[in-house]
Amino acid sequence: MSKQTLRILTPIKRVLDPQLKPRINEVTKSLDLKNLKFSINPFDDIAIEESLTIRKNLSKAIPVSTHAVTIGSPKSESILRTCLAKGVEKATLIKHDAKDDEASSSFEPLIIAKILKEMVKKEDIGLVIMGKQAIDDDFNNTGQMLAGLLNWPQITNVTKLEFLDATGDQLKVRAVREIDGGNETLVMKLPGLITVDLGLNTPRYVKLQNMMKAKKKPIEILDLKETFPQVDLTSKLELKAVEEPAVKKQGIILNSVDELITKLKEEKVI
């Protein structure tokens, strides 16, 4: 972590637009993602917004830089452009040779965490802030694994975040996270890792003018195998099949005990 600048890294993921229902290929038992709209993972969008808020709030005390990174195919450049349009200063695509529609989700969380660990070291990052999970696989453990590999403190599922003191040598954050039965407040010294939950903020909309400007901004492209040859990309998980959940029976609303008794008799329960 640089003593002069707080460098924030936000990993993001390209996922199927949450408004769309995925199709399942009955032959391959996998998702059919062709010709569908993709967007930035909603939890990651919240993390991007929070990194921009931190930069704004700390700007008078210390310099802060924001950096978005994604792992995938060239198609993932689109979500990086969105981050640049929102105000992120640097964007990096770590490119690998999976199929275009699968490139953003073909690695299991541990492999993603190993790649991000190398990125953190390369960029001298002081704070990683990321979505708690992706909406396509719902693993919710990449952040925890990354913090473990870095031997960093972590606070997960954060719904409120603030810096306690930005003037001293040791930066500290105070975060609130929801737990069963209430909220938990934790204080953490940086460098550290935060995963964010819904409700932390409302991501800004991208103005068309800013999106047009972002198309001209550079995106750093790193070849995964050439840049991080030390990372073992061998998967320990195997996806066997994808299937839709069983259709649930529609419920029946009864207005009285008599109706309930009648219905139970009809079904020969009593």
Res 170: pLDDT:
80
- For 102-151, what is each residue's pLDDT tens digit? 544 578 999 999 999 999 999 999 999 999 999 888 899 999 999 999 99
Confidence of residue 70 (pLDDT cuts 50, 70, 90): very high
* Residue 217 covered by a domain: yes
Q: Is the pLDDT of residue 98 over 90?
A: no
In terms of DSSP H, where are the helices of the chain?
A: 42-58, 77-86, 109-123, 142-150, 208-214, 224-227, 257-266
Cα-atom radius of gyration of the chain, to the nearest Å? 22
* Residue 74 covered by a domain: yes
Average pLDDT over every residue of 210-214: 95
Non-local CB neighbours of 56 within 8 Å, separated by 6+ positions: none
CATH number of the domain that 44 lies in?
3.40.50.620
Res 228: pLDDT:
96
Confidence of residue 45 (pLDDT cuts 50, 70, 90): very high
Q: If we measure between CA atoms, which residue out of 219, 190, 132, 152 comes closest to residue 7?
A: 190
Average pLDDT over every residue of 19-36: 76
Q: What's the CA gap between 151 and 154, in Å, rounded? A: 9
Non-local CB neighbours of 5 within 8 Å, separated by 6+ positions: 62, 63, 64, 65
Give me 188's structure tokens.
């953490």
Structural domains of the chain, count: 1
Res 103: pLDDT:
43
Boundaries of domain holding 222: 6-266
